[in-house]
Chain A
Amino acid sequence: MPAAHAGETGAALLQQRCVACHDLQGPAPTTLTQLFARKAPDLFYAGNKYQTAWVAAWLQQPKRIRPAGMLYLDHIKPGVKRDMVDSSTLKPHMALNNDDANKVAHALALLKPYNDRIKAVSHDPSISPGPLGEMLFDKIYGCMACHQIEPDFGGLSAPEIFTAGKRLQAAYMLSYIRSPQAWDAKTWMPNKHVSSPNDQKLVNYIIELSKENFDE
């Protein structure tokens, strides 16, 4: 077995070790029954979504991204002042060695069924939110209700946003903010109808936020 293992391609590793939890084929859930059955983020469009270098690094040292797990309602319990995360139900992610992580990351980067959606948006890194970024994210659009903008501030039902600029491609973020439902019909992120250029400003705010390295 060891000799064969060394020659395995990333795609074979994905089939052996990841499909039990991650959907590598699509489509995304179209009913709540399917949503309830989804165990992990969909990876069938990973090449349209993630930064490959981040995937390779994260797989070697995985750290929690969603404070309340994939489907938050499976990991909460009533508390004294509010509902709380039930950490006893959350398990750490498997880690891969450097070689496997890089193979898998490159195999995932090839999964790009939605090039059309990415081409339909054009991210403009020059539209800076200036000091208004946090105000747009927190107050005007209320994004912080679900997303953390630093390790201990913000909502818990969605992925932390302070690492999103390293994790995700800018065009994906822009497209997702414009229509979360186009990517994931049953997602619990609402379409907030962010007008342009505020959508660009939010993406650039998220990218600036990730440079503060809150995760390190």
Chain B
Amino acid sequence: MNKWFMFLLATFSLTPLLLAPFASAEAGEKAKDNYRVYCIQCHGMQGDGMGLNIRDMSVQPRDHTDVKSMASRTDTELFKVIKEGGVAINKSSLMPPWGDTLSDDEIHDLVQYLRTLCKCKGANG
């Protein structure tokens, strides 16, 4: 075995084996990916509330790009509705609770992601 081969072995086979499990366990999923898998089915590919599922829903999903309504919510309020669902803030049960699907860290990241969709900051409080 020459040095070059040892180098290849170390770089390509050992590194991913050693690092991959730690990287995924600590970072959680990316907010953008979580939004795509769990939210766009109702809130839409563009985040504008025009999702695949909305035709027969009696209450329509929030338009996450709408500055006016999104800026009126605090980050704490957004966290609560994502984790506990619409019912927890006296809104529609069609907005599900995601607390058994996403970690608190992932939900905090999603709140920040929503702020990039509306290009707005939350109300104070």
Contact = CB atoms under 8 A, between A and B. Distances in A.
Interface of A: 31-32, 35, 68, 72-73, 76-79, 81-85, 139-142, 144-146, 153-157, 179, 181, 186-188, 190-193
A157 B53 contact: yes
B116 to A, nearest CB: 19
B97 A81 contact: no
Contacts of A142: 92-96
Contact of A191 (B34, B38, B58, B101): B101
A190 B96 contact: yes
Given A72-B41, A83-B40, A83-B44, A156 B53 contact: yes
A38 to B, nearest CB: 12
B80 to A, nearest CB: 15
A154 B53 CA distance: 7
Contacts, number: 92
B36 A73 contact: yes
If over half of B's interface residues share one DSSP class (helix, strand or loop), that class is named, otherwise mixed; here it is loop
Query: Which bracket fits the contact residues of B?
Result: 20 to 34
A155 B41 CA distance: 9
Nearest to B53: A155
Contact of A31 (B24, B55, B93): B24
Interface string B40-56: 11101110001111111
A76 B29 CA distance: 22
A186 B37 contact: yes
Contacts of A77: 45
B52 A145 contact: no
A186 B29 CA distance: 11
A139 B93 CA distance: 7
A181 B99 CA distance: 11
A190 B45 CA distance: 19
Contact of A145 (B34, B44, B53, B98): B53
B55 to A, nearest CB: 7
A145 B37 contact: no
Contacts of B24: 31
B94 A145 contact: yes
Contacts of A72: 41, 52
A202 to B, nearest CB: 14
B100 A85 contact: no
Contacts of A190: 38, 85, 96-98, 100-101
